Structure 1
Amino acid sequence: MGEFDLIRRYFQRPAAAGVDVGVGDDCAVLVPTPGVRWLVSSDMLVEGRHFLSTVDPARLGHKALAVNLSDLAACGAAPRGFTLALALPRVDEAWLAGFSRGLLGLADAQGCPLVGGDTTQGPLNLCITVFGEAPAGQALLRSGARVGDEIWVSGMLGDARLALEVFRGTVALVGNAFERVRLAMECPTPRVALGQALRGIATAALDLSDGLLGDLGHLLAASGVGARLDVDALPRSAVLAAQPAALQHTCVLAGGDDYELVFTAPPGARLPDVGVPLTRIGVIEAAPGLRVVDAQGRDLAHGLRSFDHFAA
């Protein structure tokens, strides 16, 4: 099967609403909406670095798009479309069928059509660029947190890191417990509806990809503030809560791959209800730095750091 046959069979679809020209031409032609701003983000997934070779291809397709949609969610953007650059060591039709099913299934669910991209032969590598839009002046940024704001997080933290520890052989989980944390690792849910609902409410936001400590640190640096983080308030699943405290702290503070939203909002703000649990986990302070404290307010000496591609 040649390159263009591969594209036609697994990735070409009729143009969607707002797309004059999609897959199959030199460029996609998208129709801008009056009064909005475009938001654009790219993420790369490399085999052995971001995912295991044993991952189900449908889940990999889902995750490849989900991590990009999570960036749009963090900015309060509505998805408009995406491009896919795909390097494959060889043409494997069964793999391509599963991958495209997971990828396009999430695309359909989020109203985010595939509008172009590229394919080539090489080590397995996926790069997606996603396009979204938000009303002018309403995009959520990292730079708006103010002293006294509360810090909130969506969903649960740490399950993806716990699954990684199982694959590394440092933790033993079996049956449904393992499948639950593995699903969190391989098939995250981008909080797109929540991000849009937070426009006009959240003062700053970002998504969790490399771990809470590092990612929240980026928000604090952009906003020129510090924070107190309550480690015992961090939401975690029953599976993770059954693990030793030190492992729990590693997973929820520095685990990465959560793809939940962390955001700040004024005290008493009326938060949206979009079916996603929200947990207050701390408060913005004037003094720089990020303090992690326990339920009694004592500083936690943790020695943890988030993932860094070039320091790991």
Structure 2
Amino acid sequence: MGEFELIRHYFAAAACAQAVDGVVLGIGDDCALLQVSAGEQLAVSTDTLVAGVHFPAGAPGELLGQRALAVAVSDLAAMGATPLAFTLALTLPEVSPDWLADFTAGLERMARQCGVGLVGGDTTRGPLSLTLTVFGRVPAGQALTRAGARPGDLLCVGGALGNGAGALPFVLGERAEQPGSAALLAHYWSPAPQLQLGQALRGVATAALDISDGLLADCGHIARASGVALFVEQQRLPLSAALLACTDNDDAALQLALGGGDDYVLAFTLPAEKLDALRAMGQPVQVIGRVEAGQGVHLLDARGRAIEPRHSGYQHFGTHRD
């Protein structure tokens, strides 16, 4: 099967590649054409996932398809954007019809969940990798960014932390499945981009991002961009029952929550007076600390004393992954 036949059969014919609102021209030409309304801005983000780095080389195609798109769309949630479309650049070591059918099924499932359409991309031969570029729309001037946190703001997250990292031993086959592991695996393979929360934070949060490389590492981006200090209160971190059941002790779960990565929940800062209104809307807001004048990210114990974090998070091209 040649490149163009592969595209026509598996992707151009997919349900997620059919006409969606805001897409003037999709797959089949040199470029896609997207339309945003007057008073809106286009939010764009690109993610690359590589076999053996971001997922096991033998990952099932269906699970990989849904995870790859969810991870990319999570960046739109972090900006408060409404998803519009995405492109896919797929590098394959070989053409496997069964794997491609499974991959497309997973991709379509997540595309329906996120309300986003496939509008183009590329295919080539090589080691398995996926590059997805997502497009969203956001009212002009209302996009959430990492800059803007102010002293006196609360530091919050949109849900339980550490589930993605807690799933990793089960994903890699290092541990046998046990009570609680199914919930962790579901979070890893099918993270739910917090699109509703992101949109609710427009005009409310002062800074935001999604947690992909670990809470402390990603909070560092907000601290640097905003020129402030973030204080994380360790005892306030939300931990799921599944994570606690699958780790040796509470401290091990805390370490995964602080530096494990792959959470894809939002971390954000907001004025304290905005908290009750967000919770009244049913938004999953968990306060985990505060913003003060200064710089950097500081971890506090139950008595409010500074403690040295054991793990800082993940960095590409670093010497190791904590």
**TM-score, scaled to structure 1:** 0.95
Distance 2:145 2:279 in 1: 18
SS at match of 1:45: strand
Residue 300 of structure 1, CA deviation: 2.3
Q: Distance in 2 between matches of 1:214 and 1:301?
A: 14
Give the corresponding residue for 1:286. 293
Q: Work out which of the residue numbers 229, 232, 236 in structure 1 matches 2:235.
A: 232
- Unpaired stretches in structure 1, ≥5 consecutive residues: none
CA distance in 1, matches of 2:105, 2:173: 30
Task: Give deviations 1:225-251, integer Å, cap 9, x for gaps.
Answer: 002101111111113224323322220
Superposition pairs for residues 143-158 of structure 1, below 5 Å?
143-158=147-162
Q: Counterpart in 2 of 1:117?
A: 121
SS at match of 2:101: helix
Provide the aligned C-alpha RMSD in A.
1.7
1:2 matched residue in structure 2: 2
SS state at 1:174 partner? coil
Q: Which position in structure 2 is the counterpart of 1:199?
A: 202
Written as runs of structure 1 = structure 2, the 5 A alignment for 1:46-61 is: 46-61=50-65
Correspondences of 1:158-307 after superposition (within 5 Å): 158-167=162-171, 172=175, 174-242=177-245, 243=247, 244-269=249-274, 270-271=277-278, 277-307=284-314
1:168 offset after TM fit, Å? 5.7
**Is 1:70 aligned with 2:74?**
yes
1:137 corresponds to 2:141: yes
Identical residues among aligned pairs (%): 48
Q: Deviations over 1:169-204 (max 9, x none)?
A: 77x453442211112122111111111111011111
**Range 48-57 or range 112-121, more displaced:** 48-57
- Between the aligned partners of 1:180 and 1:41, the Cα distance in structure 2 is 28
Structure 1 window deviating more from structure 2 (100-109 vs 238-247): it is 238-247
Structure 2 unmatched ranges of 5 or more: none
The TM-score normalised by the length of structure 2 is 0.92
More divergent stretch after superposition (46-55 vs 251-260): 46-55
Deviates more, 1:240-249 or 1:258-267: 240-249
Q: Distance in 2 between matches of 1:35 and 1:72?
A: 18
**Amino acid corresponding to residue 54 of structure 1 in structure 2:** G
**Residue 194 of structure 1 contacts residue 272 of structure 1 at CA under 8 Å; is this kept in 2?**
no
* Counterpart amino acid of residue 57 in structure 1: G
Between the aligned partners of 1:292 and 1:8, the Cα distance in structure 2 is 52
The amino acid of 2:214's aligned partner reads: G
